[in-house]
Structure 1
Amino acid sequence: MTAGSPAGHRVEGTRLGKRQRQHLVAKLIEQHRVRSQAQLVELLAAEGVVATQATVSRDLDELGAIKVRVPGGETAYAIPALPKEQRAPDDHLRRVFGDWVVEVASSGNLVVLRTPPGSAHVVGSALDRAGLPEVIGTVAGDDTLIVVAAEGIEGAALAGMLADLAGL
């Protein structure tokens, strides 16, 4: 374990896969005022993750990170798609559901969405970004997505709403 690591679960010198590293980069940008790529390399190192500035530069580009002016006049990285308050437009969700959801079923407070192979993550991402109050989370596999309904919402009711979005 890396002493003093905020996450407390990284092994010193770990090389993460691209997706795991980019997830951590996005999380660090959300938690810290990251002003430079060098600072981001240091923050990753504090988590026990080895990354070069060139790797961080590619990650920032692929994540769509931009520099924004923050209070005090400085600039810092931000990822427009990540802020919790940003919602995907309803028409985007309807389009994704119409294109990719082929079956909807429910049980208790869960909804199961079926998609063509390799597409569940696309639907899950759109649903997560939509910020629907009826949904507390999603778990995507290859062609199946589990949607967890919020407290007080029946899975069947949520399934009906999601089926309508998909045009089913």
Structure 2
Amino acid sequence: MPLAPNNLYIALFLRSDPPISKNYHWALYLHNPNGQGGTKYHIVNEGSTGSNWVACHGPEVGILKTFLLAGMTRIATVPADPAVLEKTDRLVRSFDGELNELGVTCRTWLLRVLEVLQGEVGVPRFVDGMDVGALERETLAFGNMVAGEAAGNVQPRPVFESLVCL
């Protein structure tokens, strides 16, 4: 499935080979309005203590062929309005200066960002009775299902449509 313009995805990356169940690096990816590349939003830990998180956001071209990508889950369409896209970018980056005070990991940071986006921009929108916890469980199940293929570098990498998000 090709990536759709203005769509927000969760990207899961393997951390080990062989893959370990439920052990992934989490990132958000917003595909550009023109359909060419997008922005990968994630945080990385640059220390041995596990508490030196830094923002590592930037342009990404060809994410579906990125090394160690397990797969991507489409979770939302962001309105094409430039003001909404700018606000989305600003909100995703809003925690950058306090990552180490928040006690986050790449996964908990992403889930926190999604809660802010849901409240401020209206995406993702959850199916009745579902929430960010259900999205986390769905994403982990998908990652566990495709991790073996990712370790073998089977191409193309899969894109999953969330059943939790509208």
TM-score bucket (shorter structure): under 0.3
Question: TM-score, normalised on structure 2?
Answer: 0.25
> Comparing both chains, which one has the higher relative contact order based on Cα–Cα distances under 8 Å and sequence gaps of 6 or more?
2
Instruction: Answer with 1 or 2: which has the greater Rg.
Output: 1
Report the structure, 1 or 2, having the larger helix content.
1
| TM-score, length of structure 1 as denominator length | 0.25
